[in-house]
Structure 1
Amino acid sequence: MGESYGAWRMGADELLMPHIDMANIACGGHASDPVTMDTTVALACAHQVQIGAHPGYPDKEGFGRRAFPLAGDELGAHLLFQIGALDALCRKHATRIRHVKPHGALYNQMMREDALLETIFKALQAFDPTLPLVVQAADSRRNDALRAQAADYGLTLLFEAFADRAYSADGHLASRGMPGAVHHSSAAILEQARRLMTHGEVQALSGETLHIEADTLCLHGDNPLSPEVAKALHANNS
């Protein structure tokens, strides 16, 4: 959410916000600007939606979906800068950040590279170790291993599954460059959401059934079907 920038518009936040529980708000790295962040925080507050920081690589041209040569202290500084900016605007509205979810390429890389994940752990530990970090859900064994890593830094995790993205056989999200990586049918998104919520499973692009234990379900704000799908999911689970 909040991924517009200046005169450039992205997403339909006003239509989507009434039907969700958690909003991951861009912090000026991959998208957004101070005014957009401010109005998105206000919108979340108006609908009593939990606010999460959504930091990404500082790459607006690539929308944070390209690998970026940042690591260690440099990446940590960028994360703290972005989270701190959103935190300041939350304070203006008498609210606070409730979780952190990295964006795009940063999110995908942290799920594959332990060193990068530990850099994110250290940044969150320095900012506020009580904030859960949102990571990609897998089976119970993989989730437990990630919990143990996070516990070394005094952190907790929220495990996330994706309704509008396809999975590869290894349990990661299929690359956006692959055919079928993004679902462009409301029926397909709703069916994947139903299967995740009721059976804890999803079918990979290659046909395998993956078992996933998740706490939360993601819809991407830049998918034009998200408001319609979120409304349907909200109605079915009210």
Structure 2
Amino acid sequence: MTDRLVAGPSVASGRRATVMDLRSMDLNADLGEGFGAWRLGDDTALMSVVTSANVACGFHAGDPLIMRVTCRTAVAHGVAIGAQVSYRDLAGFGRRAMDVPFDELASEILYQLSALDGIARSCGGRVSYVKPHGALYNRVVHDRGQAAAVAEAVLSFDPSLPVLTLPGSVLAEVHDELQTVAECYADRAYTPEGTLVPRRSPVSVVTDPQKVAERAVRMAVKGEVEAIDGTVVPVSARSICVHGDTPNAVELARTVRGALSDAGVKIIPFT
């Protein structure tokens, strides 16, 4: 595994990493998550705040028109474009657990990557990283089979593409050639084990802008976050995610970026 893109004392797999400037951080958000006449969030406003856009590829949200508009907006704002790949689950917004055979999952991820990259290139950009979404994201943290399918798809498409994942994810261990970048969540609650509290829990999302900003600064500067039981969990990450589907997403993102800047953290893309 190549770990040159990951800042901090450890990479997602816990292996040795090259230490970079701990005072720099990427800020990413899930964007382009509408479908047809349905729109979700204020993508244009968020594009002026974040440095990386996780663009839905049509399997949990998004459609060709929305993907094209989102890529155009990202290029106009100088924001890195990432493919947010998912299980094929429009009805469940990609958040329902699924058991997809290896070849089928790898092919579906390859399909999503190819579609978004083609659209991005037509807009003057390109896909520069990958991020699994929802149930797939959480599954590849511990499921080697599903993680290996993700890795196979990414490597067959472009071995240089890094993949965002949680610190400690087995995705960072399933293939030596796969590049992974650890990320953390300013607006999601953590378990004592360092995983995300399931969405079905009423405390899974943190919505208070000041609290979210404080968590982001603590993760960026101290490399730690407080879990729901008060446990302090180490978090070594190069990118912080704020969700675009939260009702006050734009305010949250602006507050986080301002707090990070005030703390001396430089906001730059990890790609």
Per the normalisation by structure 2, the TM-score is 0.82
Shift of the alpha carbon at 1:148? 4.8
Select 2:250's aligned residue among 208, 217, 227. Answer: 227
Question: Partner letter of residue 91 of structure 1?
Answer: R
Percent of pairs identical after alignment? 39
Which 4+ residue blocks in structure 1 deviate beyond 2 angstroms? 145-150, 232-236
Contact 1:12 1:224 in 2 (8 A): no
Contact 1:135 1:158 in 2 (8 A): yes
Separation (CA, whole Å) in 1 of partners of 2:133 and 2:172:
20
Contact 1:164 1:183 in 2 (8 A): yes
Query: Is 1:25 matched up with 2:25?
Result: no
Match of 2:4? none
User: Which SS does the other structure have where 1:173 is aligned?
Assistant: coil
Q: 1:87 to 1:146 in 2, by over 3 A?
A: closer
Query: Is 1:193 matched up with 2:208?
Result: no
Separation (CA, whole Å) in 2 of partners of 1:68 and 1:166:
23
Name the count of aligned residue pairs.
231
Larger helix proportion of the pair: 1
Per-residue deviation, residues 161-189 of structure 1 (Å, max 9, x unmatched) = 00000001111100111131111211221
Q: Which runs of 5+ in 2 are unaligned?
A: 1-30, 267-271
User: Which SS does the other structure have where 2:258 is aligned?
Assistant: helix
Query: Is 1:203 matched up with 2:226?
Result: yes
Q: Which runs of 5+ in 1 are unaligned?
A: none
Cα RMSD for the two superposed structures: 1.4
Separation (CA, whole Å) in 2 of partners of 1:18 and 1:8:
22
Larger strand proportion of the pair: 2
Question: Partner letter of residue 201 of structure 2?
Answer: M
User: Which SS does the other structure have where 2:150 is aligned?
Assistant: helix
User: Which SS does the other structure have where 2:132 is aligned?
Assistant: coil
Shift of the alpha carbon at 1:114? 1.2
Select 1:87's aligned residue among 107, 113, 117. Answer: 117
Match of 1:110? 140
Shift of the alpha carbon at 1:18? 0.3
User: Which SS does the other structure have where 1:101 is aligned?
Assistant: strand
Larger relative contact order (Cα-Cα within 8 Å, sequence gap ≥ 6) = 2
Q: Which moved more, 1:209-218 or 1:227-236?
A: 227-236
Select 2:178's aligned residue among 155, 165, 168. Answer: 155
Shift of the alpha carbon at 1:146? 5.8
Contact 2:151 2:174 in 1 (8 A): no
User: Which SS does the other structure have where 1:19 is aligned?
Assistant: coil
Question: Partner letter of residue 198 of structure 2?
Answer: S
Separation (CA, whole Å) in 1 of partners of 2:67 and 2:202:
33
Match of 1:168? 191
Q: How does 1:56-67 map to 2 (within 5 A)?
A: 56-67=86-97
Shift of the alpha carbon at 1:194? 1.4
Separation (CA, whole Å) in 1 of partners of 2:147 and 2:172:
12
Query: Is 1:77 matched up with 2:132?
Result: no
Per the normalisation by structure 1, the TM-score is 0.93
